Amino acid sequence: MTGYVKSILLLSFSLALLPVLCAENVVKLDARLFVYRTGDFASVHLSGASPLGSGPARLLRYPAAIQFDSESFTLGRMGFEWTHGDVLPPQFTLVPIPPLLLHVSKPVVVDSSVPVQYLERQEDGTLKVREIPSESPESPHIRVTFRRPYSEYIDAFSGITVRCGFDLATVAKRETLPGVSLDVGKPVIATVNQTCDISCQPEAWSAVSLLSPNENGLSLLLLIRVLRVDDRGWLPDRSPGTNLDGLNNPILNNGPANIPAPSSGSRRSK
């Protein structure tokens, strides 16, 4: 049995189904969530980043960049690119998030959790495989909550506040099993929780980097941008074909996607 179990990620979205009333009450949110093993990189260096409160999250606005060993990420006002343009480095997994409508004080939750297996010694000395299911509060998970905390007048120049809540639980280490050399004991879960407000300029990308505190865990890079909508739920100055009313009912289960399993490597992010 290997030191980790291949993980499957299931996404679920909780979205308030309220009518679109006016541009001050709703905005369209585009989000990209990239997940990677912290231990896959010897160093992670952020340029143009600023702290988001007292937690580990860091905010990046254009122009900004992140260097992941030999891989790079560059953030511009209207877009972003990796070392080879749109080609995602193999260490990263893109978690699919559909476009969403954010209403004032109505949260949208992206909940990503994985099951984890381990060995447990029985009274007769044998080993038995146990599993912490993905729906358990003790399972490794990444949970991101998006919210507009209050109503703001929205125009082409005003910042739009998006409140992001991060709940990250990763495998810090495993308990030791006497007589077993493999790292297959019960996982010890380390958690990170942080909530921060981001003032987003309409149509401009912002990024949040959140590094896991341990090399075996998962870290994330979140990109968000907001777009104005009018009282019909349409993007301004667009044809009726861009009606966003359907975004009030996203697919609740976006299907399984492979994500990195906790690594037992010895490399450390800094």
pLDDT at 269 over 60: no
Name the least confident of 44-53, 63-72, 123-132, 245-254.
245-254
16-20, 57-61, 144-148: range with lowest mean pLDDT: 16-20
pTM of the model: 0.74
Structure confidence at residue 258 (pLDDT): 38
CB-based contact 112:11 (threshold 8 Å): yes
pLDDT at 196: 92
Q: What is the model's pLDDT at position 127?
A: 92
Which phi and psi angles does 264 have, rounded to 5°?
Answer: -105, 15
Q: Comparing 86-90, 117-121, 227-231, which segment has the lowest mean pLDDT?
A: 227-231
So what's the pLDDT on residue 54?
A: 83
Q: Which pLDDT value is given to residue 252?
A: 26
Identify whether the C-beta of residue 36 lies closer than 8 Å to the C-beta of residue 219: yes
pLDDT of 146 reads: 94
More confident: 39 or 91: 91
Average pLDDT over residues 80-100: 92
Q: Which one has a higher pLDDT value, 22 or 156? A: 156
Residue 10 has pLDDT above 50, yes or no: no
216: pLDDT strictly greater than 50: yes
